[in-house]
Amino acid sequence: MTINRREFMQASAAAYLLARAERMRAQTAPAYVNNGSDLHEWIIGNGLVERRVQFDPKVGLYTPSWKSLLTGTEFIRPIRPDELHPNTRGQEFSFHTDGEQFDGSGSAFDLIDTATHEVQPRGKALEFKLKSRTRPIEVSIFYAVYEGHPVIRKWVAITNRGDKAISLSHFMFEAVPML
């Protein structure tokens, strides 16, 4: 197929305008938090980025998908069926308390509840509330997304429910298997 310079410029301009319109639409898409295909999956995103988070009592909390919706780029390495060990899915958080390691992968925590919150300006936050199976410790993991921003914020809150003070060290709040 041969095209002349004028046809090339028209096709290029049309493609540019379509791509720009799609970017503008994506930048004004509202932030959302949805339940996934099963009861143990949540989706947080906007028109630019989307992250799926799952909880399994044996595997713990993990991110099976995190992608750019504009380019279709998946940032998380796919897990093969033979990779059953929890750490192959990465760690959403990890810390030591009084020398004992706790992390979000594996069966150290029970899922107590999830909650969705409005955040300003024009955003949504998803909160996972976890409780340690062995110690009086609760962990809340927050994911927040805002309209027009291609990022998902994350922070972790640790609550000591015991009557003795604890010492926290070796804190890590993200080690997912990126491509």
- Encoded amino acid at 7, one letter: E
**Strand, coil or helix: what is 16?**
helix
Confidence band, pLDDT 50/70/90 cuts, at residue 19: low
Share of the chain above pLDDT 70, in %: 88
Give the E-state strand segments of 36-162 in sequence order: 41-45, 49-56, 60-68, 94-97, 100-103, 109-119, 123-132, 137-146, 152-160
45-95 pLDDT tens trace: 999 999 999 999 988 999 999 999 989 999 998 877 666 555 667 889 999
Alpha-carbon distances, residue 66 vs 23, 56, 175 (angstroms): 19, 18, 13
Report whether pLDDT(123) > 90.
Answer: yes
State whether residue 82 is helix, strand or coil. coil
Could you tell me the pTM of the whole model?
A: 0.82
Indicate the pLDDT class of residue 34, thresholds 50, 70 and 90: very high
